[in-house]
Structures are given as structure tokens and as C-alpha cells.
Amino acid sequence: MYPFGTPTVVPAAIFDAVKDAHDLRKAMKGFGTDEDALINIICRRSNEQRQEIQRQFKTHFGKDLIEDIKSETSGNFEKLLVGLLRPIVDYYCAELNDAMAGLGTDEEVLIEILCTLSNMEINTIKNQYLRLYGAHLESELKSETSGNFKRLLTSLCTAARDESGRVDLVAAKNDARELLKAGELRVGTDESMFNMILCQRNYQQLKLIFQEYEGMTGHSLEKAIKKEFSGDVMEGLIAIYRCVTNKAEYFASRLHKAMAGIGTNDTQLIRVIITRSEIDMTDIKVAFERLYGKSLKSWIKGDTSGHYKHALYALVGEQRSS
């Protein structure tokens, strides 16, 4: 039923957008806000259903639901609900735009989005980015990054990956040999070969290439990338490697990184949960517990609080505990 994984947020089976719109209005009218009602509706509907609720809200009350939510909530709870109400493509565009706005660039965001999506998703985001911000995503990326990392992002942005799913053992052996010649067997690194192979081959073929590489060298290509590259381009190539070998583990590591250590990177936590809840969050939870020995819920519980915490629980398919 779910070809890409098991989601934690699915479309509500019995769905009445008009009723939801009225219930949301009621939850925000007068003194105080019924946050639980906001969570129960917004966090338990699909993105498509949330768009329909917003249309009905505007039709019935002549008000913008996002604006009302902004005036009734604050902090991370507000950020989460507003993110959920945006069409998912707009949300991705906003995250990319925020990552490049102002001083400095949040390269991790660029990697997390561009290294993990399909051609169609990247093309849809590029078109919408131009509509929303009046600028080409590719030229924005080029002006915000440099060197090998810039070339990697440009390759990914062209969305030219083979997606046939066809595998060819002979070609895999050849590519593995080329990667070896471009990296560990020479002085310096021919990064263009890594770029070409990791950005153009289909995921099934890359799995085969990685196996061949390991067979030839006795260690993983990830280890070779860490030896041959550094900085953002290394992180980008490793992200592609991990998405090919186990996408759920890659996103589990992103959630872990958002919460590990002192403080929480709430923007990252919110982004991963919003973008993966309708795709493969159940698989990510399983991977998280396997990798870190504790449940995702227990980490969320330790790092967040209040309505924000309860909203995250709902999105990752967990029941509220006291």
C-alpha cells in the first residue's frame, strides 16, 4: 500500500472540512485557545486535507487560518502548526529560502532536502521556488555555495538521476573501479567522478556499486568519502550514500542530531517530522530505536514540552502520556 515506507500521518478516513473549519474557529474564538483541538485537527489530517480546511475556513469566516493560528499560538508550537498548514512544496521552498537568507548559509538544510528527493520532487520545488521568490533555485544555490559543494548541489538541482530501477552488474563493477581510481588510488581526488556517479545512477544501481566497491576494497564507500573529502561536499556525498543504503536511518540520524547535546535544533526537528510524517515516519521510528537504544518518543519527551510536545507526539503516531 505504501511503496516508499510507512507513514504516521494518513488522510482522515471520515473527513469533513467544513466541520473542521468550524471547530478550529471555535477553538480560537473568545478568551484563551483550545490547543488540544488545534492538535487533534491539524496534526491528524493529511497535507491535502489541511489545504481544503483552509479554503473552507476562508470561505466561511473571511479569515486566513494561518494568520489566526499565528495570533493565537507562539514559539515552536506556532512554527509547527504554520509549517503543517503550508502546502508541502511551499514548505520545502521556504526551508530552502530560509537556509540561504541573511548572513551565512545553512548547508545542512540544502543537503537534507536536495540529496534525498526524487527528480519530480526537485523539479516541482524549482518551479514553485521561482513563483514564490522570483528567483531560480539553481542560481541562488550557486551564489550561496562554492567549490565542489556548489558543483554537487548544481548536479542534484538538474534532477537528472536515472530512475529506471534497472541494474547492470558489469556497469556497477566499472563504476566502482572508476570511484576507486578517482579517489583512493590517486594523489588528490577527482571529485567530478564521485559527483557524476552519485548524482546520476539510480538507487538500486548505486546499492550494487557500493557492494562492488566494498568487495574490491574491504571497506565501505562512506569510509572512502570521509577519507577523500571534507566539509560540506563530504556531508552531501555521505547523505546520498546513506539515503541509498537506508533512508529511514538517514532521517533517524537527522532527528537524533537535532536533539543530541545541549539544546534542541527545533527547526530541524520540525522539518524532518513535517516532511516525513506522510512518507516513512514509522520506519524512521524503528530505525531510531535500533540506532540509539531509546524510542523517538522518549527523546521528544526529554527535549520538548507542552502543546508543542503533544503535537509532535500526534505527528509521529504516539499516544500522549501524562
Q: Is 46's pLDDT higher than 80?
A: yes
**Does residue 1 sit within a domain?**
no
| Structure confidence by residue, pLDDT tens digits, 207-218 | 999 999 999 999
**Does residue 11 sit within a domain?**
no
**Does residue 6 sit within a domain?**
no
Helix, strand, coil % over all residues of the chain, rounded to 5: 70, 0, 30
Tell me which residue of 203, 199, 294, 220 sits closest to 255, measured CA to CA.
Answer: 294
**Does residue 289 sit within a domain?**
yes
**Does residue 7 sit within a domain?**
no
The CATH number assigned to the domain holding 297 equals: 1.10.220.10
**Does residue 5 sit within a domain?**
no
Tell me which residue of 244, 281, 223, 267 sits closest to 116, measured CA to CA.
Answer: 244
Which residue, chain included where needed, has cell 565501505?
220
Find out whether 212 and 91 touch, Cβ atoms under 8 Å.
no
DSSP, collapsed to helix, strand or coil, labels residue 228 as helix
Same structural domain, 142 and 106: yes
**Does residue 311 sit within a domain?**
yes
Q: Which domain holds residue 118?
A: 88-158
Tell me which residue of 6, 9, 11 sits closest to 277, measured CA to CA.
Answer: 9
Same structural domain, 192 and 151: no
Cell of 260: 543530541
Cell of 99: 537556509
- Of 158, 190, 209, at which residue does a domain stop? 158
Question: Based on the structure, what is the number of domains in the chain?
Answer: 4
| Structure confidence by residue, pLDDT tens digits, 170-223 | 999 999 999 999 999 998 899 999 999 999 999 999 999 999 999 999 999 999
**Does residue 69 sit within a domain?**
yes
